[in-house]
């Protein structure tokens, strides 16, 4: 091994640990909506973003969901095909599409919210309020560091 090359342990590498953490937490939530209603991650995320904020312009989903346009487009198409979402043209601006969950979509959303909130409680079990606040604060700091690193990387020649 090259002596100038530092030792690398993937399992101790913070980004890898975050990925494993994310997959485990995400999979536990996915079990709730996928098992009950066959929803994909992207479909649930669209419903979750829209649930309390309807009607919504399709363009607002990109900003509010952390998904790209292709993922959103596919999720919207599937939600519409399964009768959970209705889209219509904005009469004030025909280029905009206005989205609402159907009665069935809203019913599923209302059914799932208490279940995912209960799961959130289970995931955070054993952490007191101070530890929860600390965890969220630490996550925010790491996120800000990552955003700065991405910005600096873009500025380098």
Residues 33-91 have pLDDT tens digits of: 999 999 999 999 999 999 989 999 888 888 898 888 999 999 999 999 999 999 998 88
Q: Going by C-beta distance under 8 Å and a sequence separation of 6 or more, which residues neighbour residue 46?
A: 61, 65, 67, 72, 75, 76, 79, 85
pTM above 0.95, yes or no: no
Residue 73 near residue 118 (C-beta atoms within 8 A): no
């Amino acid at each position: 091994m090259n002596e100038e090359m530092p030792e690398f342990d993937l399992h101790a590498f913070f980004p890898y640990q975050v990925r494993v953490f994310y997959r485990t937490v995400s999979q536990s939530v996915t079990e709730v909506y996928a098992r009950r209603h066959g929803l994909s991650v992207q479909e649930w995320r669209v419903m979750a973003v829209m649930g309390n904020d309807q009607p919504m312009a399709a363009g607002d989903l990109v900003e509010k969901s952390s998904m790209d346009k292709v993922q959103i487009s596919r999720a919207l198409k599937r939600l519409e095909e399964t009768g959970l979402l209705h889209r219509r043209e904005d009469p004030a601006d025909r280029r905009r599409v206005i989205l609402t969950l159907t009665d069935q979509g809203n019913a599923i959303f209302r059914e799932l919210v208490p279940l995912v909130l209960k799961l959130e409680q289970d995931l955070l079990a054993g952490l007191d309020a101070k530890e929860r606040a600390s965890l969220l604060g630490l996550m925010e700091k790491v996120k800000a560091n990552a955003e700065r690193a991405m910005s600096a990387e873009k500025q380098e020649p």
